[in-house]
Amino acid sequence: MTTAAVELPAPRDTVAAKILRFVAKAPMHLFLVALGALWLVPTIGLFITSILPASSLASSGWWQIFTHPSLATWSNYDKLFHNEGLLSALKTTAYIAVGNTILVVIIGSLAGYAFAWLDFPGRDWIFIGVIALLVVPLQMALIPMFRLYDTFGIFDTVISIILFHTAFGLPFAIFLLRNFFVGLPKDILESARIDGASEIVIFVRLILPLGLPAIASLAIFQFLWTWNDLIVALTFGQNVQPITVWIFGQLREFGTSIDVIAPASFISLVIPLCVFFAFQRYFVQGLLAGSVK
């Protein structure tokens, strides 16, 4: 035998082999297609319900649209967009979600930077304390803050809801950002310090731009979390009425108000959905970084 081994013919991808492989995999493809469709059905069902008149929903389900496509109408939405209550609820929710997101990002990244790069006594112990706060259920704060807000006369205001969300968003924010900032290259920071840059300059010029991916993840999380919140809004916002509280008020007459509930719910989920699609990558990154929560 010579060392030059006999060249085996490379396994060729014949058409037959391709077809065979496809057929062998077909059941799994079908299974996944069915599952994916199954996962989409509820949301599609909500949307179709939202474009059907209440009269036709009383006697048959939303799938009637497949046999009677002419029933579809925008009139439910049309009515809602002339509904003062819904419009102001949307505005309230937007204020809360945006305001909270900005506050959490600013305060969280300041603290995250301090825990990552400033040297002060007991730093790691205090950080452990912050991690401990991660799991505290917000139910622990509902009663005391209800009283406190009442005492200071800020009960049922947008700012009181924002501050509540901000506080409960901070442990996660600090945790996420501190862990990200710690991983930033040390020498950049130190050369900046040697050059005499103050901590604030370093924070604004170096940390914030470098930390942008983590900050984006955090911002998306905070935005979705506050936009979608019900329990805080229901406790502290009965009159300012964010969107969830407004819809919640209609639930009592579920059957008869379905032409309001379904489109309003769909409107309330379109914006988070857009944010999700636009920033899916950051959302997933944040999820992975934070799933020790």
Shortest CB 243 distance to another protein, Å: 9
Residue from the set 42, 122, 153, 196 that interacts with another protein by CB under 8 A: 42
| Contacts of residue 232, Cβ cutoff 8 Å, sequence gap at least 6 | 138, 161, 164, 165
- Cβ atoms of residues 164 and 154 within 8 Å: no
Helices and strands in the chain: count of H runs, count of E runs: 15, 0
Q: Judged by CB under 8 A, does residue 142 bind another protein?
A: yes
Q: Judged by CB under 8 A, does residue 80 bind another protein?
A: no
Residues belonging to the chain: 293
Q: Judged by CB under 8 A, does residue 53 bind another protein?
A: no
Residue from the set 5, 6, 10, 251 that interacts with another protein by CB under 8 A: 251
Tokens of residue 181, six digits: 């900032």
Radius of gyration of the chain (CA): 27
Q: Judged by CB under 8 A, does residue 122 bind another protein?
A: no
Q: Judged by CB under 8 A, does residue 45 bind another protein?
A: yes
Burial environment of residue 30 by CB neighbours within 10 A (0 to 12, 13 to 18, 19 or more): exposed
Q: Judged by CB under 8 A, does residue 28 bind another protein?
A: yes
Residue from the set 101, 166, 222, 241 that interacts with another protein by CB under 8 A: 166
d(CA 56, CA 273): 28
Q: Judged by CB under 8 A, does residue 22 bind another protein?
A: no
Question: Residue 252 belongs to what H/E stretch?
Answer: none
- Taking each helix axis as running N to C, give the angle between helix 212-228 and helix 84-117, from 0 to 180 degrees, rounded to the nearest 10: 140
The 201-240 contact track toward another protein, x by CB under 8 A, reads --x--------------------x--xxxxx--xx-----
Q: Which of the ranges 15-23, 65-73, 84-92, 144-152 carries the binding residues for another protein, by CB under 8 A?
A: 144-152
Nearer to another protein, 3 or 67 (CB): 67
Q: Judged by CB under 8 A, does residue 172 bind another protein?
A: no
Q: Which of the ranges 10-18, 32-40, 65-73, 76-84 carries the binding residues for another protein, by CB under 8 A?
A: 32-40
Q: Judged by CB under 8 A, does residue 191 bind another protein?
A: no
- Cβ atoms of residues 175 and 148 within 8 Å: no
